[in-house]
Structure formats: structure tokens, C-alpha cells
Amino acid sequence: MITKPAAISRRSALRGAAAGLGGVLLTAGATGCTAQGTDAMPSGDDAPSPGAAVPGQDGRRVLLACFSRAGENYHYGGRTKLDVGNTEILAGMVSALIPCDVHRIEAAEPYPESYDATVARNVREQDQDARPAILNPLAAVGRYDTVILASGIWNVRAPMIMATFAESYDFTGKTILPLTTHAMSGLGTTVRDYRQSCPGATIGEGLAVKGEEVRNAGPGVGSWLQRAGLLPARR
């Protein structure tokens, strides 16, 4: 889905409202990781319109690249069925607070609905150091200063498709901010992994949110964005 600049304006308005209210409880954003903005879209027939990324705080242009899987998932030691992936909900909070282009990374071969089958596939992919193909690769990341890499944690690291994404571009001079949802592993090895995948980039402070508690993450997300200089500090 491609969202026109008006949608970015709406997010800017939401950001202003949220910043003004301070500590506002953010609910799950409807936008989630759904592709937003004009650089954040599949390659192919949909050519990006140049210069459409909206500058945010201090003129910084932000890309939020997100991989999230709905379906059967881990939940406090048991299982639950997620209609929307946890990281997609978290990404919706970020995109409601700051102007950014959102790119939802889709696997060319979708991951199974079953949790156990997904665990098994991920173990295979990690063992093989695989780079699962992306269905909708971004054309370029050149216009962005800051790239938020958002995903769940699978077997203590980001899903291997995040390595596919991170190794597809030159992030030299950009700031990478890891953003994860997880059960107990926090950021896992994402900081180390992105440092390796994105030589020349600065890996900034990451944020890890427990998947089961993602709907309460709004205040923490706001503080993190403030510390990253992407959201004005409250007065």
C-alpha cells in the first residue's frame, strides 16, 4: 500500500498531539508496518517520487523498516493467535509519533502460521546462515539519515530476513536504531549483528519491548524517540 503525503501530515499531527499531551497512552497504530511514504514501497512498477520523505526533528529523515509475523506465537510460556504481529503494533506507535516512512518487509516465502513450524524454519535458516528473499525490496535508502530496524527476536537474534535487508544497502554515515519485541531476550544480538551488517553506520540506542506487553509501550517508545533526538523533549 502506498500512502500519499496527506497521511504523513496526519501522523505529524498525531505526533504533535501526543507530544503536547505528554505521557499519552498510545494505542496500537492502525498503520503498523504497512508500507507508508513514497520511498518505502516495493520496487517494480511503483516508482518512488523523489524527495517525498518528510523531514522530522532537526531535518532528519527517518525510515522505519519492519518485519513482523501474525499468527500463532509465544505468549507467557503458552501460545496465542496474533491477528497483528507485536512488532507491527510497536511500529504503529513509532509512526504515530514521528514523521517517517514505513516499510513492511515481506518474506518472498511467507512464514508458516504455526509457531513450531516457524521455529523449525528459523533454526534451519540460522544454521545455514541463510538470507531469506524479500518480496518487496526497497529501491534505495539514500535519502534517510536514520533507519529504525524493527523485528521480533527469533532464537536470540533478529529473523534472518533482517540480515537480508541490512546487507542490501549502504548505510554508511547513517544511524541505525534497533527496535525489537521479544519474550525474554531483549535486543538479543541485534546490536552486534547490525554493526556487522551495516559497516560505516552508527548503531544507536535500541529499544526492546516484551511482545506480551506491547500495547502498554507508548510512554517508553516516546522516551526512546526523545533520547534518539527524533521527538522533541517535553517541556
> Which residues of this chain interact with ligand FMN, rule CB under 6 A?
68-69, 73-74, 82, 85-88, 115, 118-119, 122, 152-156, 181-185, 211
Instruction: Write down the least CB distance from residue 225 to ligand FMN, Å.
Output: 19
Between 76 and 140, CB nearer to ligand FMN: 76
What is the Cα–Cα distance from 163 to 183, expressed in whole angstroms? Answer: 21
Look at strands 175-182 and 207-210 and give their pairing. parallel
Q: Which is nearer to ligand FMN, 19 or 105 (CB)?
A: 105
CB of 42 to ligand FMN, least distance (A): 20
Helices (H), the chain: 5-21, 86-97, 115-127, 160-166, 190-197, 218-227
Q: Shortest distance, CB of residue 47 to ligand FMN, whole angstroms?
A: 29
DSSP label of 139? S
Q: How far is the CB of 15 from ligand FMN (least distance, A)?
A: 23
The residues that bridge with 175 in the sheet, in sequence order, are 146, 202
Distance of CA 208 to the CA centre of its chain: 12
d(CA 134, CA 12) in angstroms, rounded, equals 29
- CA pair distance 22, 130, nearest whole angstrom: 43
Shorter beta-carbon distance to ligand FMN: residue 55 or 76: 76
Distance CA 65, CA 178 (A): 10
- In the complex with ligand FMN, the residue whose CB is nearer, 15 or 69, is 69
- CB 186 to ligand FMN: min, Å: 7
Closest by alpha carbon to 132, among 106, 104, 170? Answer: 106
Nearer to ligand FMN, 52 or 119 (CB): 119
